[in-house]
Every structure is written in structure tokens, then in C-alpha cells.
Amino acid sequence: MSSFDRHPSTVADFDDARRRERLRETRLGHAWGSLRRTRLAVLRIVGVLLVGMIVFGQYWVHDVAPERDRLAHTTPELLPANLPADSRNWDTAVVDLVGLGGVNAVPTAKALPALNQLGVVWAVRYDNAGIDTKVIAEMIVRAARYGNVRNIVLVGHSMGGIVALEVARHIHLGSDRRLVAVVLDCTPMDLDAVRPESRSRGADLVRWVGWLPGARESRLLRFAVEMSVRRERFAQSDGLFFDIDFSAMGQAASEVLRDKIFSRDAASNGLIEAQFLAIVAGGGTRDLRALGRPHPDKRNPAIVFIRPRDASRDTVVDVAYSHEVLIEHAGGVDGTLSVARTSQTEHANPIQRPREYNEIIESQVLPFVRRFQEANRNDPP
């Protein structure tokens, strides 16, 4: 006789039907009589929400909160870049402003020593929490009064030109300082001037910042967007699948981490949002019109546009389009516009092409701006 014959209960213990019955008896909600499925569904939803809240809490505590705390203690600054080449020009300040994704204009200003032939050179370091052009204008005016500076020249690179034009309007219409000139380096006068393939980073950030809590401060989101912008460098698609070059992907990731995430001079998501929206708002033409209207006590400022001679060299901004907008609003026989065309520069890259930029400033920008500078000096205070 086998052991199974001697102990028939052993066979019953291994019966599949009995096992399934015992599993049902131990399931959550087995004893619930009414609305069992509904109650189980609600319980599962609560569980998913609880896990989601835990994940979101970690995201907030470790990603958003530290960056938000850092941004809460930042302030815009006006930093010295170069002394005037001639002591007679201490009455004029040249103020440099950088473009999309930049914070500190000091490196750019130092790459343009030719500007100190007009006066003392200052650079704006944006507040990483965003941009308020009136605050920047008031900061410049306060520094000018303190330093007994009467004349102001603003220089804006790329999107920084849009900021410069708005700051110029505040200074020209709302202060006692004289606005001599606004120098625009490859500035997109409105969103149509930004080449479609170059709009993605700002547009993506604005879209995410609009609905995702903490997106303004999230470094994780910034990393994802910056990598997405660079995806053509390491990912090729055949329609269904992506062929990824992991070496190129690693280089792009290192670049993003170094220049955009951990750099003290990297713009925050909120600042990029504010910079991009300045272009979207299309206020450049409005500011140009304001600077071109007759003022009872001041001369209209000079407007200088620096652009590549070959418009295709600028792959970010359609400089030919911006050129047309500037002619419409600041050109003409009695206009105040001068256009300086370069041969070797690309999109607002004085740090990469300092020799070409300084040559064009000395040969074309300075002679034109000095006429307005001297005219303002001859006017009564």
C-alpha cells in the first residue's frame, strides 16, 4: 500500500480546486458582502494615489525645494566689466545684456573691449527668478546717478536685445538720464523672426512650466528639455525606431549638466520662460515706436543692428526679417537706424568671434553712436 493510500487527506491538500478556494478566502475583501468590486476599485485607486503622492513628495523635496530656496535669495545685479578708454567718457555707461539661456553678461562684455571707447562698461546679471525690465532700468538709473553718469548705451545680444529695448523705453521716458543708443546683436524683433527649428527649447519649457507644479525650479525637467533639444546629435529615427549614438548622447548629457544644470551662470527654467515670453509678446516693435516718438527734453536714441552679411549664417534668428522690421520702425531718411554687417560671425557670438565683433564695432558702430553721444553732451542738462 502506498503512502497516498494510507493518508488520503494528503491528496486533498494538493487538490487544485481546494487551493483556488483557499486563495479566494484569503483575498482582500473576501468577506465583503455588498459592493465588493466597487470597494476594491476605490481601494486600488487610493493605493495608486498614495504611491503617486510619495513619488511627488520626493520630487518636490529633493528636486524642486532646494532650487526654489536658492532662487528666493537671488537678486539682479549690475556688474563692472571695463573702465573707459578715455577719462573724458566717464559721463557715459555702456550696459550689456545677454540672451536666451544666459544669466551673466560679464564674459560677453569683456569680449568686447571696443565698447569702452564710448564709456564705462557695465554688465547685467539677471535675477534667476525672472525678468522685470522696469527693475533693471531703475537699477541702471540708480547706478548712473551714483556715478554721475549722464548718458546710457544699451547693448543686447539675441533675445537680450528685446530686453534692452524695453529697458531703453523705461530709461528714455521715465528717467532723467539720456539714452544715447541701443545696439541690437542678431535680435529677433518678434517670434516670426525666430527660425522654427530654434523655437523648441523655449516653447517646451513654457508649455511644461504652465501646468506641471515645480517645473519652474525643476532641474530634472530642465535636463529632459535640454536633452530633447539636442536629440538630433545622438538620435536618428527611421519612422518606427530610434538609432541612438550613446557616445554622442553622453557628450550631450555632460554638456547639459556642466553648462545648464550645475553652472552658477545657467538660467533657471523660470528665467528662460520669462526670456522666451519676452519674444512671444512681440514688444520690440512697440518699444521701437516709443523710442522714435518726439520727446520734449530728449533726443531720440540711435538704433544699431549687428547681423551677419549672409543671413543664412545665423541659424537661430532670421536676421533679414528683423532687418526689415527695424527699417520699418526706425529707418528712413530721417531715421535713427544703422546696420552693421559682419562677414564671419554667426548668431550673437562675440565670445567665439571677438576679433570680428570688435572690428565691426570700431569701424561702423562707434562712429555712428558717437554722433548721438556728442549731440547729447551739447544739450543743456
Calculate helix-pair angle for 200-211, 219-229, nearest 10 degrees.
150
**Chain segment 327-362, per-residue pLDDT in tens:** 988 877 577 999 999 999 999 999 999 999 999 999
Tell me the residue type at 62.
Answer: H
Identify which has the larger pLDDT, 315 or 239: 315
SS3 212: coil
pLDDT of residue 205: 58
Q: What is the pLDDT of residue 68?
A: 63
pLDDT for 327 equals 92
DSSP-derived pairing of the beta strands 120-125 and 92-97: parallel
273 has pLDDT over 90: no
- How large is the angle between the packed helices 284-292 and 160-174, nearest 10 degrees? 30
pLDDT reported for residue 269: 65
Alpha helical stretches, state H, the chain: 3-6, 8-13, 16-26, 36-59, 65-71, 106-110, 133-146, 160-174, 200-211, 219-229, 246-256, 269-280, 284-292, 319-330, 354-360, 366-378
Of 128, 276, 260, the C-alpha closest to 207 is 276
Tell me the pLDDT tens digit for each residue of 285-298.
889 989 998 888 89
Please say whether the beta carbons of 120 and 140 come within 8 A: no
Burial class of residue 202 in the structure, from the number of CB atoms within 10 Å of its CB (0-12 exposed, 13-18 middle, 19+ buried): buried
Residue 184's CB is within 10 A of a number of other CB atoms, namely: 31
CA 331, CA 101: separation in Å to the nearest integer? Answer: 30
Q: Tell me which residue of 152, 77, 80 sits closest to 121, measured CA to CA.
A: 80
Against a cut of 0.75, is the pTM above it?
no
C-alpha cell belonging to residue 310 = 549672409
* pLDDT at site 81: 96
Q: In the predicted model, what is the mean pLDDT of residues 257-273?
A: 71
Give the model's pLDDT for residue 6: 55
Distance (Å, rounded) from C-alpha 157 to C-alpha 347? 9
The DSSP result for 338-360, as a single string, is EEEEESS--SS-TTTSHHHHHHH
Question: Tell me, what's the pLDDT at 339?
Answer: 95
What digits encode the pLDDT tens for the residues 120-176? 999 999 887 777 788 899 999 999 999 999 999 999 999 899 999 989 999 999 999
User: Cβ-count burial of 22 within 10 angstroms (0-12 exposed, 13-18 middle, 19+ buried)?
Assistant: exposed
What the chain holds in terms of domains, given with CATH numbers, is 12-73 (no CATH), 77-193+278-378 (3.40.50.1820)
The predicted structure's pLDDT at residue 138: 92
pLDDT value of position 214: 66
Q: Tens digits of per-residue pLDDT, 5-39?
A: 555 555 555 567 766 666 666 666 666 666 767 77
Give yes or no for residue 118 having a pLDDT over 90: yes
CA dist 317 and 303 (Å) reads: 18
Look over the chain and give the mean of its residue pLDDT values, rounded to a whole number. Answer: 83
State percent of the chain over pLDDT 70: 76
Q: How many other CB atoms are there within 10 angstroms of residue 340's CB atom?
A: 18
For residue 104, give the 3-state DSSP assignment. Answer: strand
Rounded Cα–Cα distance for residues 123 and 374 (Å): 23
Q: What is the pLDDT of residue 238?
A: 67
Q: What is the band of 227 on the pLDDT scale with cuts at 50, 70, 90?
A: confident
> Per-residue b/e over 349-358, b at no fewer than 16 CB within 10 Å?
bbeebbebbb
d(CA 220, CA 215): 9
